[in-house]
Amino acid sequence: MPTNQPTNQPTNQPTRPTPKKKPQVTATPERRRELLDTAAEVFAAQGYNATTVRKIADAAGMLAGSLYYHFDSKESMLDEILSAFLNELWQGYDTVLAAGLGPRETIEALVTESFREIDRHRAAVAIYQKESRALSTQPRFHYLSDSQQKFEKAWLGTLERGVAAKVFRADLDIRLTYRFVRDTVWVAASWYRPGGQHSPEEIARQYLSMVLDGIAVRT
């Protein structure tokens, strides 16, 4: 479109100021941990799909918009909750598996470490049990499938080693035994409450006594 102004003459248009970025609000590590703990309790109680950012914010005593200053989505919060739990779990498990213990002692140490993790991350364990199968189909949560495979390999390998060493009964169905031990340990997240009458170590001791030695009086 033609204009009345020569093309070689400056337009003298004012330069538009560069918009300032909104400052990022960062919570202290303690506050961030509190928010994630609150979110974990809500996810565990209501389920991931039924939980909204508003519900988490209400439980944390803040506005939903304020929560977005710290986390970009509920998916990010869930990712941090589950990855923190699994990273800590595997730190403990890897230490046990590298210790060169016998099969029975390895089972005892893995069970004890599992109850300690339930004590530290009860809500995360509950979420993992309910949601991991559906979540693991999403690329962001594919590590849940990897962790499950690693978990299964560790437990099955220890049980097989025990049978081969004649520490465990030769007639055991290894996979059925693994499923029984796995499920009866982790279901404790549904009833266990930190600070209760028994420590996680005491619960593990009682559990191991029943699993490894049975409940009937021997004659």
Q: What is the pLDDT of residues 155-201, one digit of tens each?
A: 999 999 999 999 999 999 999 999 999 999 999 988 888 888 889 99
pTM, entire model:
0.82
Residue 123 contacts residue 129 (beta carbons within 8 Å): no
Q: Is the pLDDT of residue 21 over 50?
A: no
Q: Is the pLDDT of residue 3 over 50?
A: no
Between the CA of residue 202 and those of 163, 187, 198, 207, what are the distances in Å? Answer: 27, 17, 6, 9
Mean pLDDT, the chain, integer = 88
Residue 93 contacts residue 154 (beta carbons within 8 Å): yes
Please provide residue 195's backbone torsions phi and psi, each rounded to the nearest 5 degrees. Answer: 80, 15
| pLDDT of the residue at 26 | 58
| pLDDT of the residue at 27 | 65
For the segment 48-70, the average pLDDT, to the nearest whole number, is: 93
